[in-house]
Amino acid sequence: MEVFADAQGENANDEYKSWKEHNRSDSYVISRRSRNDAMLHRADCWHLTDDFGPGVVVSLTAKPKYCSTDKRELENWAHENLDKGLKRCRTCM
């Protein structure tokens, strides 16, 4: 599992996008909004893109991203680290 978060470094957003480029198919991402609010997506879900139109700059890793090609690894992480259960994106899961 790889973690990309702005709190860990200013290149996090670029590194996250690079990871997605190389792992687009059959990979999974947990987007963590707060301590106990996290949602599981497929890596290519449109919820995880930063295409908000020209001139809009958004860091995707302002909310930490937990990434893996192994969905079970992410589910196990959520089980151990979240008091509440992991949500699943209704669009992509």
In angstroms, give the least distance from the CB of 47 to Zn ion.
4
Closest contact distance (angstroms) between CB of 5 and Zn ion is: 19
CA distance 8 to 93: 28
- Closest residue by Cα to residue 43 from 16, 62, 61: 16
Q: How far apart are CA 73 and CA 82, in angstroms?
A: 14
Site residues for Zn ion, 52-81, by CB under 5 A, read none
Q: Does 49 bind Zn ion (CB under 5 A)?
A: no
Interface with Zn ion (CB under 5 A): 41, 45, 47, 89, 91-92
